């Protein structure tokens, strides 16, 4: 993706960011003061689950979502990443010097906006809650980056529709906006790409969000997500270009306005809001007709909606 050097007026300097220690101590403080029970009133379902408690939920129950083609070797999927908060070089994102300061536990997640029942709590509590409902699954999906590489991997998680059931969007909600963490102390890319309109944001129409295929991934290859792949939880929207699959989410907001996404703000002609995989529509700077499978030299034809036409084409009639 292109390098854009621009610094909007509203760029938040590092000095204004909540110190990490304050953020991380909050939960310990509440627990020590015996407030965890009391805050459940405000902070829905603060179950105080940890990633360790949730390990038993992996890999999740097998579902019909499988791909007949060979899976991408795990080392490629976890060693070749787009995560601009850390580094623009895909091979470097997972390097301990780059990802090493990224703490994904505790992880405060907010699901709010135009909903009947806002949910605020730790990401692991949401995962535990979904575990209790028995909705944690493993799905093998095709994943196609706009840069014309692709992978096939097993994800663990739950359908985003389960989140909609949980918070009950109001009739007025027409879109869902997703937001990634913003903490320059944990990720060097914020400093390196100062002009970007951080935090990384993405969005879906509400009917896309409600679609069975839109998936909240908490793991891959049978284990919790590695940090470089978007721990503790991320979106996987398999019929859209990879940048719609936002990582390390801190907020899911239901809104009546189409959200501005990071990539759309930088280059609207190249990264429009909808961004469904379509081999017939070239990116302004390259063809989208074929893709390279990660870990191979193989080039294969790209399929409309990334092969999920039967499921999603009706959304775009």
Q: Which residues bind ligand MTE (CB under 6 A)?
A: 81-85, 145, 180, 200, 229-230, 242-243, 245-248
Nearer to ligand MTE, 44 or 81 (CB): 81
Give CA 294 to chain center in angstroms: 20
Q: 84 or 114, CB closer to ligand MTE?
A: 84
* Distance (Å) of CA 185 to CA 5, 33, 230, 241: 21, 28, 17, 29
- ∠ CA(182), CA(185), CA(191), 5° rounding? 75
Contacts of 113 (CB under 8 A, 6+ apart): 173, 177, 253, 254, 255
Nearest approach in angstroms of CB 317 to ligand MTE is 27
- Residue 291 contacts residue 315 (beta carbons within 8 Å): no
Question: Which CB sits closer to ligand MTE, 114 or 187?
Answer: 187
Closest approach of Cβ 202 to ligand MTE, in Å? 7
Nearer to ligand MTE, 37 or 222 (CB): 222
Residue closer to ligand MTE by CB (options 83, 254) is: 83
Least distance to ligand MTE, CB of residue 101, Å: 16
Q: Which residue is nearest to ligand MTE (CB)?
A: 242
User: C-beta of 95: minimal distance to ligand MTE in Å?
Assistant: 14
The first and second tokens of residue 275, run together, are 């961004």
What are 42's two structure tokens? 């405000």
Residue 248 CB, shortest distance to ligand MTE, in Å, is 6
In terms of C-beta distances under 8 Å and separation of at least 24 residues, what long-range contacts does 271-276 make, across chains too? 271/146, 271/241, 271/243, 273/203, 274/240, 275/146, 275/240, 275/241, 275/243, 275/244, 276/239, 276/240, 276/241, 276/305, 276/312, 276/316
Please tell me what DSSP assigns to residue 18.
P
Nearest CB to ligand MTE, comparing residues 43 and 83: 83
Closest approach of ligand MTE to the CB of residue 32, in Å: 32
- Three-point CA angle 315, 309, 311, nearest 5°: 65
């Amino acid at each position: 993706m292109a390098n854009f050097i621009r610094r909007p007026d509203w760029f938040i300097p590092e000095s204004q960011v909540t110190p990490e220690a304050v953020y991380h101590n909050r939960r310990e403080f509440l627990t020590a003061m015996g407030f965890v029970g009391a805050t459940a009133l405000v902070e829905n379902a603060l179950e105080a689950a940890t990633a360790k408690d949730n390990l038993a939920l992996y890999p999740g129950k097998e579902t019909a979502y499988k791909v007949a083609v060979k899976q991408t070797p795990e080392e490629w999927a976890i060693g070749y990443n787009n995560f601009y908060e850390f580094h623009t070089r895909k091979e470097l994102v997972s390097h301990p010097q780059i990802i090493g300061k990224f703490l994904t536990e505790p992880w405060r997640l907010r699901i709010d906006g135009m909903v009947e029942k806002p949910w605020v709590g730790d990401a692991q509590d949401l995962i535990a809650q979904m575990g209790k409902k028995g909705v944690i699954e493993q799905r093998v999906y095709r994943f196609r980056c706009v840069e014309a590489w692709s992978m096939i991997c097993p994800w663990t998680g739950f359908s985003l529709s389960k989140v909609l059931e949980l918070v009950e969007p109001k009739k007025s909600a027409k879109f869902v906006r997703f937001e990634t963490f913003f903490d320059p102390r944990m990720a060097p890319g914020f400093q390196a790409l100062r002009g970007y309109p951080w935090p990384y944001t993405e969005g879906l129409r509400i009917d896309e969000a409600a679609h069975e295929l839109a998936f909240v991934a908490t793991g891959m290859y049978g284990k919790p997500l590695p940090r470089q792949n978007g721990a503790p939880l991320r979106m996987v929207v398999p019929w859209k270009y990879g940048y719609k699959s936002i990582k390390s989410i801190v907020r899911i907001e239901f809104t009546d306005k189409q959200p501005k996404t990071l990539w759309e703000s930088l280059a609207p002609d190249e990264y429009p809001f909808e961004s469904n995989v379509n081999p017939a529509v070239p990116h302004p700077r390259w063809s989208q007709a074929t893709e390279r499978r990660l870990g191979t030299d193989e080039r294969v034809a790209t399929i409309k909606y990334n092969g999920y036409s039967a499921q999603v084409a009706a959304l775009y009639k």
